[in-house]
Amino acid sequence: MQAPSVGGIMLPRGNGATVRLSRGASLTDFAEKINANPASLVQVMLNLGEMVTATQSVSDETLQLLADEMNYVVEIVSPEEEDRELLESFDIEFGENEGGEEMLVSRPPVVTVMGHVDHGKTRLLDAIRKTNVVAGEAGGITQHIGAYQVATEVNEEERRITFIDTPGHEAFTAMRARGAKSTDIAILVVAANDGVMPQTIEALNHAKAADVPIVVAVNKIDVEGADPTKVRGQLTEYGLVAEEYGGDTMFVDISAKQGLHIDSLLEAVVLTADAALDLRANDAQDAQGIAIEAHLDRGRGAVATVLVQRGTLRVGDTMVAGDAYGRVRAMFDDKGNNVEEAGPSTPVLVLGLTNVPGAGDNFLVVDEDRTARQIAEKRAARERNAAFAKRTRRVSLEDLDKVLKAGEVQQLNLIIKGDASGSVEALESSLLQLDVGEEVDIRVLHRGVGAVTETDIDLATGSDAIVIGFNVRAEGRATQRAEREGVDVRYYSVIYQAIEEIEAALKGMLKPEYEEVELGTAEIREVFKSSKLGNIAGVLIRSGEVKRNTKARLIRDGKVVAENLNIDGLRRFKDDVTEIREGFEGGINLGNFNDIKVDDVIATYEMREKPRG
C-alpha cells in the first residue's frame, strides 16, 4: 500500500521569489499572485494537514506554511501599511504635513479627560464647556458633537484647547487600538476625597502607553475630607511627580461642581503642551484627520464628527473617512453654527457622507469623487477580509519565540489583573526579575485589581500585549472581544505557574500540550503475508473507527507490546480506504512492523492539542 496520491498536482515552485499578501488573504489571492490554480493550493494545504477552502481568509501562519512548502517567501502586509500603500497609489500621503517648516502654524492641543468612575470627568467636561466659550461666540451651547473647543488666556494671549467630549478612556483606547492618535494631552481626574483608584491607574497606564503627557486635575476639593496632598503622594508611586515636588507633572486642585480653578487647569494644559510638545500643522493643505463619532440620522443621513488634524476642511470638499466617502454638504461647529471651513485641531460635524465611519477612522480630502469612491471601496473590501484573519494576528505565548526570532518584538508587553493588589504586585515583581537574556524586555503596561475588562483587551490590542488574569476572570464582553481581536488572555491561580510559563515562552520552550484521543480498536482475525508489504492484519473493527495515517499501539493479552506504530495502509476488500468503522472488516498494514498475531488488538489514537486553561 502506498501513501495517498496527491491527485497528480504539480506543486507550484517559487524558487525563493517573494509574494506580498495582505493580512487575511485567501488561497485564491495567493494563487492569483503566482498564477496558479487555487484548487492546487487547497490540495497542498490538505497534504499539510489543514482543511481550508479557496476563498476563506487564512492566518499569517497558514500563508507562511504554504509559502514555505512551495518555496516562496511570503511578505504579509499590515493593514496600516496597506492603507498607506493604497493612498500612495493615488499619490496621497497620510499623516504628514505637506511642505517644509515654513508651512507650519501652531495648532491647539487636543485633550482627553480620563480617570476613575465618579471622580468627575463628565462634570469637568461640562464645567469647561460652560465657563469657557470662545470669545465672540457667546451664546447657547447646545450641541454635543463628541468634541468641543474652548479659549483661555495664558500670558495675555488667547489660546484654544480642543476637548474630546467622551469621558473615560474607552474611546481613547478604542481609537488607539485602531492605530489612530487622537489625543495630545490627557487630563487625569482624581477625586481628592477618594484618592487614586484602580481606573485611575488604568487611565494613567493608557496615557503612558500612548506616550501622551498628563495633567492631573485633583477634583472635588470642596468636599469635606478632601486631601489633595495625599493624591500627589499616591501618584508619585506611579511616576507622576508634581512640579512642586520637583517633578514635571502639573497638578491643579479643582472643583468641577463649583467651577473652581478651571482656568488654572486650562492654563496647565497649555503650559504642558508648550513645554512637552511641538503642536504645529500645515493649515493650507487638503484636510486630514480622524473621525471621532458618527451616527445615522433619519433626516440628514450619515452624520460624523471629525477632528481636523492638518489642512483645512471646507464645504464642498470631497472626503473619504474610513470606508465612507462623499462631498461635504454642510458643516457645523460645536455650538451648532454653520461653518464654511475648519482648520487644524478643530472638531466639526460633517454632513454628506455615504455611510457611517467608525470612531478612530482616518479621513482625508481628495481631488476627485472617483478617487474617494475607489479608496472607500478598497478599504471596505479589506475590512471584510481582515475581520476573518484578525483572530490569529496577535502575539500569543506559543508563537512568542518565533516572533522574537523574526525580530518583530523585542519587548513582551503584559497586562496583569488580579484579585488583590498584593498578589498583582508580587506577580509583577517576579516577572520583572526574570532573566531572559538581553534581547527581550518584559514591560508591564498595566496592572490592576479586578476582572479582565474590555478596556484591558483594547489596551492589549493596541500594544500587542498578553493579558494575565490572576485569580480573576474576564468580565462583560471582554472574552468575546479578546477572541475577536486575537488577544492572548491567560488565567492562573498559582504565581509560580504563571512565572514558569512566561519564562518558558521567552526561552522558546513553551510547546503546546497534546493529549491522546483514542480513535478505535481493531481485533486481528487473520495474518496475511505479502512479499511486498510484509504482514498484513485481517481485522474486525471492535470500536470507534480506524483511520489511515494515525498512530497505533499493539496490545496482546491486555498488555501493550508495541508503541508508536503507524496505520500505513488500510483496505476494505481490494480498495484502499481512509477509514473503517466499527463492525466492519478490513486489512491493516503497520508499515515495517510485522510482529502481529491473531487475537492481538490494534488500538489507534491521535494526538490533539490540548486547550490550555
Residues at the site binding ligand GDP, with contacts judged by CB under 6 A: 115, 117-123, 167, 219-220, 222-223, 255-257
Closest CA to 533 of 562, 576, 563: 576
Which runs of consecutive H residues, i.e. helices, occur in 249-368? 262-276
Closest distance between ligand GDP and the C-beta of residue 349, in Å? Answer: 23
**Residue with Cβ nearer ligand GDP (141 or 241):** 141
DSSP 192: T
**Residue with Cβ nearer ligand GDP (120 or 587):** 120
- Rg of the chain over Cα atoms, rounded to whole angstroms, equals 31
Annotated binding site for GTP: 115-122, 165-169, 219-222
Closest distance between ligand GDP and the C-beta of residue 118, in Å? Answer: 4
Distance (Å, rounded) from C-alpha 94 to C-alpha 97? 8
* 211 membership: H or E segment, kind and range: none
Closest distance between ligand GDP and the C-beta of residue 482, in Å? Answer: 25
Distance (Å, rounded) from C-alpha 189 to C-alpha 611? 41
| Residue 531: count of CB within 10 angstroms of its CB | 5
Closest distance between ligand GDP and the C-beta of residue 72, in Å? Answer: 53
**Residue with Cβ nearer ligand GDP (214 or 537):** 214
**389 with 117: CB under 8 angstroms?**
no
Closest distance between ligand GDP and the C-beta of residue 222, in Å? Answer: 5
DSSP 247: S
Distance (Å, rounded) from C-alpha 112 to C-alpha 170? 11
**Residue with Cβ nearer ligand GDP (173 or 219):** 219
Using CA of residue 26, residue 29, residue 33, residue 34, what is the dihedral sign? positive
Phi, psi of 222 (to 5 degrees): -80, -15
Q: What angle do CA 357, 361, 364 make, to 5 degrees?
A: 95
Closest distance between ligand GDP and the C-beta of residue 148, in Å? Answer: 16
Q: Is residue 498 classed as helix, strand or coil in its secondary structure?
A: helix
Q: Is residue 489 classed as helix, strand or coil in its secondary structure?
A: strand
**Residue with Cβ nearer ligand GDP (121 or 160):** 121
Cell 520583572 -> residue: 432
**Residue with Cβ nearer ligand GDP (265 or 308):** 265
Annotated binding site: 115-122, 165-169, 219-222
**562 with 593: CB under 8 angstroms?**
yes
DSSP 450: S
**Residue with Cβ nearer ligand GDP (146 or 358):** 146
Closest distance between ligand GDP and the C-beta of residue 194, in Å? Answer: 10
Cβ neighbors of 608 (< 8 A, separation 6 or more) are 514, 515, 516, 517
**Residue with Cβ nearer ligand GDP (110 or 114):** 114
Closest distance between ligand GDP and the C-beta of residue 168, in Å? Answer: 7
Grid cell at residue 76: 504579509
